[in-house]
């Protein structure tokens, strides 16, 4: 087929990038339009404090979205990100509060726990050939159960580690640049996004993740050990869930073991709205962050307008479908 | 054989059929006819136009010109339903049954008998009807058995029963024995004899010469989209049929001239894998182009994938440069300098959504990273550009996604990938499939250059002129076995076809 | 951590090991959940009463309070074990009546708890009067803001009996008793993080809110986090307990809260079943009580006993 389409674009611009970039641009335009809309129609929406509030409401979903972006680009799916986040938060609580270890150890433990559980999912998928949907559905329950078991089904508090608030509510940047009251949790989200972007675009890890998602068999026949790369992909996803776990538990000053169910769907929605294809091989981290912002701006704006929670849920659903529709239209054109 | 079928009127007549697809003339002035109670074999090389002709007969395609007559009247068959309504059915090579439904449910799908105000499916009636058809076919299949649990042979019988339930008078069978064992084949032939006796006309597409001899009344040969001739099957020698299938004279064809060195780089011995590879042994020398010829399904691709470690093998040994080597995964093969260039580039060769650069460096990425993970983009760019120039890949830049390249240029990108990886044993599976004539010549030149530079090349091709054009030596396969080896400089198409249709020739 | 693991292991062992033998009296107790602090306290009370009465219990519940079907499965499995009595907190006050009917037909005494069942099948219901409790929260909030100004509420869910009861109790009490107080907004959020963001958005929309009511532990955590993050100068009143909420009250982020008596509910269930087996008649509803608590009375032994961490 493509024999006849040779050099159609002729620009040297990779078509898949331009499609993803285009949709990222579409998502960005939607975000701006939403902000403008609410600024005009919702009293008290356009204030600095609310902007910070929106960012804070985005942080956890944004980080989880970045985590699952890796997996989705690789052609997989991870339904366990929400409960994995909870498990890592509980891990941090065990290490910091119950064992009294210093903060850096707690941070490492949470990320390591996430990476380890992610790697387990990866092994199950790559070696046992269990479809990702099912493997991570199982992992979702395993992580949730372990979080309850390890915590004794009780929240774990971080009162003995006052510096734990550094991970989310505190604003280090406001001390450096007065007036910029962005909480650390939000800054961490941006840093995670930037690093993730670099990993996906500049490192061999990212290259392999795109290759897996575009054409796993071709990658395998190129002599690439696809199993190892898959396991690494899920481990990265789990490790990033660990960061989300730190942010959420820092914000609540406690690891709440019952939290987390349903967060995976919000994260996947952010990824999809941000233009990453669920079919794999295509997507951007920045798109996911924009997607997460679209969801939280929508939620916040509708609440500020006093729209009922029930309708907010309906509108979010509509946005997801519209986003995927745009994705399909753009992909046909590209 | 029913005597004097000519005395009756043909049930099907196709005259002057023309069909073109963008860029290709698939059929030109083809004719075909079929009498009731006759088995009419349709033969030809891969791509001769048999399938296209049958798709026109069964309403899948519309002819650009020509006439189809059913029962001596002009007929228009705008779709498969229309063909079915006229009693024309096809049994596809890959069966179209719903595995989770029973035989009876499959046979009557979409037209189930109803009961109780048409609200419920009358399963009992359906089973009785199916049982009646099976009885007529003299086969013992339980109408209530789930199709997914049956052997392929029985599934095929269910397909035939389904066709008969439409009162089929014309049955097209596309290589019906390709997945059957000998007893199953005998059983099928018995069913076919029975259908004949009941006046059903059968178009029998096959590559297997002995089957034609066994059950066909007449044979029609097609070549390059054209009708060649129709002859009585029993009276025509096999060699004549082969000659008609191969056809063209080779006087004006380029032939391989060189030969490899005597240095052995690859020795495969006693390779077995299920029913698809049977005791295959061969050697490959440095600087040699070894052709693998055979009909579709002969097992050539399977051998290539096994040598490359893409599929597991049951037994056999592989020696590379004289050393016994375990090749369990493609990664092992690549590490030992073996590359496999699949016929299906889009699925197995290229990551089509990624750029020329990414594809060329895909197998050699370790050389282009720093700090263990970071890609050295500049170095990747430079080497990709080097190979684009060396292989004369036509692309606006190395950033171009490979999906947008032509087939020939895609093939060159894959070649580049393996050359960069220092592979010196290159296995090409249908290297010019989907590539236009001009680009083909260039790929041929490229392969010859590579061989001259000391690379060892295996070329799997279904196009006989291509095999003869390139190969220093030719291994011919049939049904998982190597049935013979020919000298590329002297072999003829007839030689190859004889070996390629030699079933059970070297039964171990 | 060791201790937690040990107790978890013990709890697991108990749950698995507690297969009823015919010799002993066995009551399955089916809650609406088990991971929430509140249910853990109910369980503790039930286990205490079981030990005191020399009976065996199991304590089970679905993963989330939306899984009515799962709870029904648990109920059916429990009835199949032919227990001597059954404790049940219905997720849906009507949907599970048929399943309970099976237990009643088998002559198994039933005690409902936490929220009622719309039927005569349970011998009694051990519960908090949610409407009265939320009205008490309204009183506490009204007093703290001088009985005038704007208030709002975040409720933990739209559909359960406790959510509806607390919503109605709070809203009606304010409307009836405090004409100068205006309820500007009521929203719903089912976990602490979502409650936080919801409350912040509500405060954003109505900067002149003076008081806020949060209807369960998660909502109350969200309320205290939202107050801290936004720096809003408002009066917060919570519901239930938990360490976060207790800390917030101690440091003044929330001024007070309502506690039910979860330990008492658990005890009531087991005690009532024991009494029923002994042939005693039980009242239709046993109010296990609730308390207003704030900085001043949190350490009072009577209050401290029903608070949980």
Enumerate the residues of chain A whose CB falls inside 8 A of the CB of residue B352.
Answer: 2, 214-215
Judgement on whether residues C122 and C227 belong to the same structural domain of the protein: no
Residue C292: inside a domain: no
Instruction: Determine, yes or no, domain membership for C303.
Output: no
Enumerate residues 6+ apart whose C-beta is below 8 A from B52.
B19, B26, B27, B61, B225
Task: Please tell me whether residues B135 and B222 are part of one structural domain.
Answer: yes
C286 domain-assigned = no
**C247 min Cα distance to partner chain A (Å):** 10
Is ipTM strictly over 0.95? no
Dihedral-angle region of residue B402 (phi above 0 means left; psi in -120 to 50 means alpha; beta otherwise)? alpha
Q: Does residue C217 sit in the same domain as residue C70?
A: no
Among B393, B423, B453, identify where a domain stops: B423
Q: Find the mean pLDDT for residues C286-309.
A: 88
Overall number of domains in chain B:
3
Query: Are C73 and C179 in a shared domain?
Result: no
Q: Give the pLDDT confidence score for residue C9 in this predicted structure.
A: 45
Residue B210, pLDDT above cutoff 90? no
Contact A223 B417 (CB under 8 A): no
Instruction: Give the neighbours of chain B: at least 3 Cβ pairs within 8 Å.
Output: A
Is A155 within 8 Å of C64 when comparing Cβ atoms?
no
Q: CA of B409, closest CA in chain A: separation in Å?
A: 9
Q: For chain A, list the domains and their CATH numbers.
A: 15-34+42-333 (1.10.3470)
User: If we measure between CA atoms, which residue out of B245, B280, B313, B274 comes closest to residue B458?
Assistant: B280
A255 three-class SS = strand
Least confident of A174-178, B450-454, C107-111: A174-178
Task: For residues C265 and C124, state if they share a domain.
Answer: yes
Q: Which of residues 77-136 of C touch A (CB under 8 A)?
A: none
Domain membership of residue C239 (yes or no) is yes
Residue after which a domain boundary falls, among B423, B443, B477: B423
Chain C residues closer than 8 Å to A305 by CB: 205
Say yes or no for a CB contact (<8 Å) between C200 and A144: no
Evaluate whether residue C54 is within a structural domain: yes
Kindly indicate the confidence band of residue C155, based on its pLDDT and cuts at 50, 70 and 90. Answer: very high
Residues B82-107: tens digit of each pLDDT: 898 899 998 887 777 888 889 998 88
Is a pLDDT exceeding 50 seen at residue A183?
yes
Q: Are residues B16 and B107 in the same domain?
A: yes
- pLDDT > 80? residue A267: yes
Chain A residue with minimal CA distance to C190? A259
Instruction: Please give the residue that has the higher pLDDT: either B258 or C75.
Output: C75
Find out whether C220 and C155 touch, Cβ atoms under 8 Å: no
User: Do residue C115 and residue C22 come from a single domain?
Assistant: yes
The whole domain housing C156 covers: 130-260
A108/chain C closest Cα distance in angstroms = 17
The answer to whether residues C252 and C139 belong to one domain is yes
Name which residue leads in pLDDT, A136 or B495: A136
Best A43, A137, A152 residue to mutate vs chain C (most C CBs within 10 Å): A152
Q: Is the pLDDT of residue A93 over 60?
A: yes
Strand-pair category, C235-239 with C285-287? unpaired
My answer on whether C160 and C51 are in the same domain is no
Residues B372 and B505 in one domain: no
Query: How far is it, in rounded angstroms, from Cα B291 to Cα B464?
Result: 10
Same domain for B73 and B99? yes
How far away is chain A from the Cα of B370, in angstroms, using its nearest Cα? 9
Integer Cα distance of A279 and B223 in angstroms: 41
Which chains reach chain A with 3 or more Cβ–Cβ distances below 8 angstroms? B, C
- Identify the domain boundary among B246, B278, B307: B246
Q: Is B170 helix (H, G, I), strand (E, B) or coil?
A: strand
CA distance B270 to chain A (A): 24
Token digits for B163? 């066709």
> At residue B338, does pLDDT exceed 90?
yes
Q: Are residues B225 and B294 in the same domain?
A: no
Q: Which residue of A has its CA nearest to B374?
A: A203
Query: Residue A20: which pLDDT band, with cuts at 50, 70 and 90?
Result: low
Phi-psi region of A281 (alpha: psi -120 to 50; beta: other; left: phi over 0): left
pLDDT of residue B474: 94
C and B make contact (3+ CB pairs below 8 Å): no
CB contact under 8 Å between B406 and A10, yes or no, is no
- Residue B262 shares a structural domain with residue B284: yes
Considering the domain architecture, whether residues B229 and B96 belong to the same structural domain is answered as yes
Which comes out higher in pLDDT, residue C297 or B177?
C297
DSSP B286-327: TT-EEEEEE-TTSSHHHHHHHHTTSS--SEEEEEETTEE---
Q: Is the pLDDT of residue C281 over 80?
A: yes
Say whether B436 and A3 touch across the interface (CB within 8 A).
yes
Q: Which of A54-68, B350-364, C8-22, C144-158 has the lowest mean pLDDT?
A: C8-22
Mean pLDDT in residue range A127-145: 95
Instruction: Determine the pLDDT at residue A13.
Output: 38
Q: Is residue C203 over pLDDT 50?
A: yes
Taking CB atoms and an 8 Å limit, are A221 and B399 in contact across chains? no
C85 in a domain, yes or no? yes
Residue B342 CA to residue B344 CA, distance in Å, equals 5
**Minimal Cβ distance to A49: which of C191, C198, C230:** C230
* List of chain A residues whose C-beta atoms are within 8 Å of the C-beta of residue B353: 16, 210, 214-215, 281-282
Give the nearest partner residue to C225 out of A150, A251, A309, using CB atoms. A251
Using CA atoms, how far apart are residues C8 and A126, in angstroms rounded to an integer? 32
Count A/B contacts: CB-CB distance under 8 Å. 123
Among chain A residues, the shortest Cα distance to C40 is held by A153
CA-based nearest distance A147→chain C, Å? 10
Cβ distance of A223 and B330 shorter than 8 Å: yes
Average pLDDT in chain B = 86
Q: Measuring CA to CA, which residue among B58, B62, B65 is closest to residue B31?
A: B65
- Structurally, how many domains does chain C consist of? 2
> Is residue C289 within 8 Å of residue C130, measured between CB atoms?
no
Given this model, what pLDDT does residue B23 score?
Answer: 66
8 Å CB contact of A144 and C201: no
* pLDDT for position C68: 78
Residues of chain B positioned with their CB less than 8 A from the CB of A281: 351, 353
Phi, psi (deg, nearest 5) at residue C67: -90, 70
The pLDDT value given to residue B248: 55
With CA atoms as reference, the chain A residue closest to C3 would be A98
Mutate to test the interface with C, among A249, A252, A257 (most CBs of C within 10 A): A252
CB spacing of A251 vs C12 below 8 angstroms: no
C230 touches chain A (CB under 8 A): yes
What dihedral do alpha carbons A178, A183, A185, A187 form, nearest 10°? -30
Q: Is residue C97 domain-shared with residue C143, that is, in the same domain? A: no
Least CB-CB distance to A203: which of B351, B373, B399?
B373
Query: What is the average per-residue pLDDT within C14-27?
Result: 56
**Distance (Å, whole) CA C194 – CA C65:** 17
**B489 and B445 both lie in a single domain:** yes
Total residues found in chain B within this entry = 508
Q: Give the CATH number for residue C135.
A: 3.40.50.2300
A333 has a pLDDT exceeding 80:
no
| CB–CB contact C204 A251 (8 Å) | no
Q: Taking CB atoms and an 8 Å limit, are C309 and A154 in contact across chains?
A: yes
Option in B310, B351, B407 nearest A214 (CB): B351
* A261 three-class SS: coil
CA distance A69 to chain B (A): 18
- CB atoms closer than 10 angstroms to residue B178: 15
Nearest CB to A257; choose among C11, C35, C205:
C35
C111 & C166 share domain: no
Out of B310, B334, B352, the one facing A215 most closely (by C-beta) is B352
Domain membership of residue C294 (yes or no) is no
C160/chain A closest Cα distance in angstroms: 15
What average pLDDT does the segment C4-27 reach? 52
pLDDT at position B255, please?
66
Q: Which of C30, C34, C46 is nearest to C267 (CA)?
A: C46
Q: Which residues contact B258 (CB under 8 A, 6 or more apart)?
A: B287, B448, B451, B452, B472
**8 A C-beta contact, residue A161 and residue A249:** no
Tell me if C197 is assigned to some domain. Answer: yes
**Do B185 and B267 fall into the same domain?**
no
Mention every residue, 6+ apart, whose C-beta is less than 8 A from residue B182: none
pLDDT-derived band at C5 (thresholds 50, 70, 90) equals very low
Give percent of chain B above pLDDT 70: 94
In this structure, the answer to whether residues C246 and C267 fall within a common structural domain is no
Which structural domain, as residue segments, surrounds residue B430? 250-337+426-508
Answer yes or no: do C134 and C254 share one domain. yes
**Is any Cβ of chain A less than 8 angstroms from the Cβ of C159?**
no
* Option in A3, A202, A220 nearest B375 (CB): A202
- % of chain B residues with pLDDT over 90: 40
- Mean of all residue pLDDT scores within chain C: 86
Structure confidence by residue, pLDDT tens digits, C75-130: 888 888 889 999 999 887 777 788 888 888 888 999 999 877 778 889 999 988 88
Chain A residue with minimum CA distance to C9: A149
pLDDT value of position B504? 58
For the ranges B474-483, C64-73, C282-291, C296-305, the lowest mean pLDDT is seen at C64-73
Asked if residue B14 and residue B158 are part of one domain, the reply reads yes
Domain CATH number, residue B17: 3.40.50.300
Q: Are residues B302 and B354 in the same domain?
A: no
């Amino acid at each position: 087929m493509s024999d006849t389409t040779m050099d159609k674009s002729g620009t040297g611009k990779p078509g898949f990038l331009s499609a993803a970039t285009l949709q990222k641009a579409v998502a960005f335009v939607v975000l701006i339009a939403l902000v403008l809309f609410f600024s005009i129609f919702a009293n008290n929406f356009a204030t600095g404090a609310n902007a910070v509030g929106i960012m804070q409401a985005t942080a956890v979903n944004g980080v989880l979205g970045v985590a699952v972006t890796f997996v989705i680009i690789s052609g997989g799916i991870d339904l366990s990100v929400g409960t994995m986040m909870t498990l890592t938060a509980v891990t941090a609580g065990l290490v910091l509060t119950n064992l009294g270890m210093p903060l850096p150890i707690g941070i490492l433990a949470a990320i390591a726990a996430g990476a380890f559980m992610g790697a387990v999912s990866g092994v199950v998928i790559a070696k046992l050939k269990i479809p990702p949907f099912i493997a991570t559905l199982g992992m979702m329950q395993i992580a949730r159960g372990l979080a309850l078991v390890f915590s004794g089904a009780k929240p774990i508090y971080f009162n003995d580690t006052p510096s734990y608030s550094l991970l989310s509510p505190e604003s280090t940047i406001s001390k450096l640049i007065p007036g910029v009251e962005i909480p650390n949790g939000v800054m961490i989200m941006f840093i995670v996004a930037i690093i993730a972007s670099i990993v996906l675009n500049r490192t061999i890890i990212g290259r392999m993740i795109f290759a897996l998602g575009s054409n796993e068999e071709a990658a395998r026949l190129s002599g690439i050990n696809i199993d190892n790369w898959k396991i690494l992909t899920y481990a990265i996803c789990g490790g990033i869930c660990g960061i989300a776990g730190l942010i959420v538990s820092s914000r609540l000053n406690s690891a709440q073991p019952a939290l987390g169910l349903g967060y995976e769907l919000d994260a996947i929605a952010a990824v999809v709205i941000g233009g990453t294809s669920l079919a794999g091989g295509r997507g951007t981290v920045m798109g996911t962050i924009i997607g997460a912002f679209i969801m939280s701006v929508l939620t916040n704006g509708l609440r500020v307008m006093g729209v009922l929670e029930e309708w907010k849920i309906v509108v979010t659903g509509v946005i997801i479908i519209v986003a995927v529709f745009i994705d399909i239209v753009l992909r046909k054109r590209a | 054989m029913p005597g004097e079928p000519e005395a009756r009127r043909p049930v099907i007549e196709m005259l002057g059929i023309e069909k073109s697809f963008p860029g290709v003339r698939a059929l030109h002035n083809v004719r075909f006819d079929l009498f009731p109670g006759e088995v009419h074999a349709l033969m030809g090389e891969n791509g001769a136009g048999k399938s296209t002709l049958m798709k026109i007969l069964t309403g899948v395609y519309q002819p650009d010109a020509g006439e189809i007559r059913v029962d001596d009247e002009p007929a228009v068959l705008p779709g498969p339903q229309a063909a079915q309504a006229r009693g024309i059915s096809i049994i596809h090579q890959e069966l179209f049954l719903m595995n989770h439904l029973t035989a009876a449910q499959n046979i009557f799908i979409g037209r189930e008998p109803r009961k109780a105000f048409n609200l419920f499916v009358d399963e009992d009636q359906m089973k009785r009807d199916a049982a009646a058809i099976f009885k007529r076919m003299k086969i013992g299949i339980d109408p209530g058995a789930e199709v997914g649990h049956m052997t392929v042979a029985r599934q095929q019988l269910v397909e035939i029963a389904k066709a008969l339930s439409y009162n089929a008078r014309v049955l097209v069978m596309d290589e019906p024995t390709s997945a059957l064992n000998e007893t199953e084949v005998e059983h099928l032939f018995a069913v076919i004899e029975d259908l004949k006796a009941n006046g059903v006309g059968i178009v029998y597409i096959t590559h297997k010469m002995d089957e034609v001899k066994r059950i066909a009344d007449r044979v029609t040969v097609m070549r390059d989209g054209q009708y060649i001739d129709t002859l009585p099957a029993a009276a025509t020698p096999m060699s004549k049929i082969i000659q008609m299938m191969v056809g063209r004279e080779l006087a004006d064809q380029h032939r391989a001239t060189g030969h490899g060195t005597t240095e052995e780089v690859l020795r495969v011995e006693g390779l077995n894998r299920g029913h698809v590879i049977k005791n295959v042994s061969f050697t490959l020398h440095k600087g040699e182009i070894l052709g693998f010829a055979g009909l579709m399904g002969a097992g050539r691709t399977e051998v290539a994938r096994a040598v490359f470690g893409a599929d597991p093998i049951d037994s056999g040994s592989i020696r590379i440069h004289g050393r016994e080597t375990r090749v369990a995964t493609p990664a092992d093969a690549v590490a030992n300098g073996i590359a496999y260039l699949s016929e299906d580039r889009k699925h197995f060769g290229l990551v089509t959504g990624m750029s020329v650069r990414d594809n060329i460096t895909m197998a050699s990425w370790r050389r282009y990273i720093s700090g263990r993970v970071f890609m050295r983009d500049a170095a990747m760019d430079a080497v990709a550009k080097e190979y684009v120039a060396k292989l004369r890949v036509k692309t606006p830049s190395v950033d171009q996604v490979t999906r947008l390249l032509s087939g020939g240029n895609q093939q060159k990108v894959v070649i580049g990938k393996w050359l960069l990886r220092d592979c010196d044993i290159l296995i090409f599976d249908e290297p010019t499939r989907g590539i236009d004539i001009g680009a083909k010549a260039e790929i041929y030149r490229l392969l010859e250059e590579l061989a001259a530079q000391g690379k060892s090349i295996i070329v799997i091709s279904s196009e006989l002129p291509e095999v003869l054009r390139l190969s220093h030596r030719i291994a011919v396969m049939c049904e998982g076995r190597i049935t013979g080896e020919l000298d590329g400089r002297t072999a003829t198409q007839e030689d190859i076809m004889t070996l390629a249709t030699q079933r059970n020739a070297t039964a171990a | 951590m060791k201790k937690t693991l040990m107790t978890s292991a013990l709890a697991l062992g108990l749950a698995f090991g507690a297969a009823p033998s015919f010799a002993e009296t066995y009551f399955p107790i089916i809650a609406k959940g088990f991971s929430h602090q509140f249910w853990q306290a109910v369980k503790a009370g039930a286990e205490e009463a079981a030990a005191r009465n020399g009976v065996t219990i199991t304590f089970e519940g679905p993963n989330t309070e939306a899984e009515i079907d799962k709870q029904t499965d648990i109920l059916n499995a429990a009835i199949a074990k032919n227990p001597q009595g059954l404790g049940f907190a219905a997720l849906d006050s009507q949907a599970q009546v048929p399943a309970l009917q099976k237990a009643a037909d088998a002559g198994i005494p039933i005690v409902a708890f936490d929220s009622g069942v719309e039927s005569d099948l349970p011998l009694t219901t051990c519960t908090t009067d949610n409407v009265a409790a939320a009205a008490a929260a309204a009183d506490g909030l009204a007093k703290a803001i001088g009985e005038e100004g704007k208030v709002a509420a975040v409720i933990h869910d739209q559909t359960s009996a406790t959510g509806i009861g607390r919503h109605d109790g709070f809203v009606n009490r304010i409307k009836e008793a405090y004409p100068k107080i205006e309820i500007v907004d009521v929203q719903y959020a089912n976990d602490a993080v979502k409650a936080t963001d919801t409350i912040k958005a509500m405060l954003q929309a109505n900067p002149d809110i003076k008081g806020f009511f949060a209807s369960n532990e998660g909502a109350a955590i969200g309320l205290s986090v939202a107050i801290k993050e936004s720096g809003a100068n408002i009066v917060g009143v919570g519901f239930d307990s938990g360490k976060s909420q207790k800390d917030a009250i101690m440091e003044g982020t929330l001024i007070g809260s309502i506690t039910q008596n979860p330990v008492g509910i658990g005890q009531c269930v087991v005690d009532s079943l024991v009494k029923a087996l002994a042939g005693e008649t039980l009242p239709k509803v046993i109010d296990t009580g609730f308390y207003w608590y704030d900085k001043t009375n949190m350490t009072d032994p009577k209050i401290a006993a029903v608070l949980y961490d």
